[in-house]
Amino acid sequence: MHSSQLPQGIFSAQWIPTDGDGIVDRAALAAHLAFERQAGVAGVLALGSTGEFPFFSVEERTDVLALVAKLAGQLTLYANVSDVRPRAAIEVGRRAKALGYTAIALMPPMFFPVSQADVLAYFLHVADAVGLPVMLYNFPELTGKRIDLPTVAAFADRAPMIAIKQSGGEFAYHRDLIALGREKGFAVMSGSDTRLPEVFSLGAAGAIGGLVNIVPELMVEIHRCCTAGRPGDAALAAERMAEVGRVIDRLAFPPNVGAGLAARGFSPGAPKSILSPASRALAAGIEADLGALFDAWGLAPGPAAAA
């Protein structure tokens, strides 16, 4: 069972800048969303992994969703409502629905061990209670749980599934998911930002990535060239994406995305987690090195750098 509103194109796994007290920096978020819109992104996933959703309370998450909806213009909006507490996921999802979000994203419940049958039951319970189309979100490195193919298939048969976001190190899983999506009528959106030509050659509909926050124009160009049947025209953009990946991977996710955002001239806000001096030094090095690359490539800086 699927919705006709299947996603395609490049979506930002949206970074949410906050101050030291966890208050969202509205001006920084507005400037960044305007930049992404101008670059041609198709939509936004709010409060995903890059959005660091575990750091926000339910009330804060609903406030963030409201602010993103207000600032995002005509971009398609998805809300990650994942939570170990089903009631919290439902509450955030219903708020997203009231705000006009197109769909919700669901990761498996984290922390406690659960069977695939229980993962499916959780997905179905939240989806039924919220009443929006669903994008499943597979990122085993973060959740500790893989969404296995039979679980995806069973959910697609029983709920309004429009997509699955495939993130993490198991790149080959794209193939199975894309084949299943063709059978069941859902899209596959990739989180493999630095391997987009491969992703699109396999038949993925688009990408939802953290690096969209930093170099959206490169990722939009790759998607446009590949979907037009001209992947060779995206060779330079793909090479630059790989270089961005090599630099940014010197620091763990997601603080590395914040360093990249700063390199592009946007305010990433205060770190939401406690960073060691060593991690702060790595972040500063990433900011400097990416900034030099962006200057060499002629990528326009954001408002902070231009000020």
What per-residue confidence (pLDDT) applies to 300? 86
The half-sphere exposure of 237 on its side-chain side, counting CA atoms within 13 A, is 23
Q: Cα Rg for the chain, rounded, in angstroms? A: 18
Residue 4: per-residue pLDDT: 55
Written as six digits, the tokens of 237 are: 């953009």
Note the residue count of the chain. 307
Q: Does 254 map to a domain?
A: no
**Residue ranges for the chain with pLDDT beneath 70:** 1-4, 304-307
Closest Cα to residue 145, out of 168, 167, 114, 169?
A: 114
Decide if 256 is inside a domain.
Answer: no
pLDDT of amino acid 263: 98
- Please give the sequence-ordered ranges of beta strands (E in DSSP) within 95-244, or none if there are none: 103-106, 134-138, 161-166, 187-190, 206-209
Residue 24's SS3 state is strand
Q: Residue 175 falls within a domain, yes or no?
A: yes
Q: How far apart are CA 264 and CA 15, in angstroms?
A: 13
DSSP-derived secondary structure letter, 193? G
Q: Looking at residue 2, what is its pLDDT?
A: 47
Q: How far apart are alpha carbons 65 and 69 in whole angstroms? A: 6
Q: Is residue 16 part of a domain?
A: yes
Report if residue 27 sits inside a domain.
yes
Residues whose CB is less than 8 angstroms from the CB of residue 98 and which lie 6 or more positions away in sequence, other chains included:
none
191: Cβ contacts below 8 Å, ≥ 6 apart: 13, 139, 165, 166, 167, 168, 207, 208, 209, 210
d(CA 263, CA 214): 8
Query: In which domain, by residue range, is 63 found?
Result: 9-231
Domain annotation covers residue 43: yes
Which residues make beta-bridge pairs with 208?
A: 11
Residue in the structure block whose two tokens are 């919705």: 3
Which amino acid, residue 1?
A: M
Q: Number of structural domains, the chain?
A: 1
Q: Let me know if residue 51 belongs to a domain.
A: yes
Establish if 151 belongs to a structural domain: yes
Shortest CA distance to 103 belongs to which of 183, 202, 240, 7?
7
φ/ψ (deg, to 5) at 109: -60, 135
Q: What is the pLDDT of residue 304?
A: 61
- Token pair listed for 224: 């446009």
- Residue given tokens 């090479």 in the structure block: 239
Give CA angle at 20 (92, 61), nearest 5°: 5
Which tokens belong to 36? Answer: 């992404």
Look up the CATH number of the domain holding residue 162. 3.20.20.70
Q: Quick one: tokens of 290?
A: 């990416």
Q: What type of residue sits at position 149?
A: L
Type of residue found at 242: A
Contact of 213 with 261, CB cutoff 8 Å: yes
